[in-house]
Amino acid sequence: MATFRQGVEAAIPALRRYARALTRNADSADDLVQDTLVRALRSEHLFHGGELRSWLYTILCNLNRNRLRSLARRPVLSPLEEDDAPDLAGPEAGGRDIARALATLAEEQREALLLVVLEGLSYREVADVQGVPIGTVMSRLARARVQIKSYLDGERPALRCVK
């Protein structure tokens, strides 16, 4: 029991980093991590061994999907910042471009890419976290990389058919 709680506590910095990358908002990320920790500690009896970090990421991803569903029901207002101008140059402009490129990705693609690149999880661990086959993870990563590259190269995004 003590080792479980120590493992959860050790994973907090990684959970916060991943949540901030997913939500792009420090307050939302902190709330998401707190909800993840509460759910994990309440559900300790459901953890039957294995990779604790993957289990925590699964909880966080599921809570984030629930958050996105509830946000989709209400309009999102975001103020324009002075540094949102597209013609800014300098070292900080590259970071904004990558952040904008990540924002254009589908949620599943962004989750997979961040888990691999930011958190260093293996494809198998990402597949377990997302609850999909490893081939689906590879496909999501390939599509995400192509889309980010085309965005950074200045190409127009491809239109998606929505039924």
User: What element of type H or E holds 11?
Assistant: helix 2-23
Domains of the chain: 1-74 (1.10.1740.10), 91-157 (1.10.10.10)
Whether the CB-CB separation of 147 and 157 falls below 8 Å is answered with yes
Note the pLDDT of residue 142: 94
Residue 25's SS3 state is: coil
Whether the CB-CB separation of 118 and 18 falls below 8 Å is answered with yes
Q: pTM above 0.85?
A: no
* pLDDT tens digits, one per residue of 57-90: 999 999 999 888 887 777 655 665 555 555 554 4
Residues 19-46, mean pLDDT to the nearest whole number: 92
Half-sphere exposure in the Cβ direction for 104 (13 Å, CA): 21
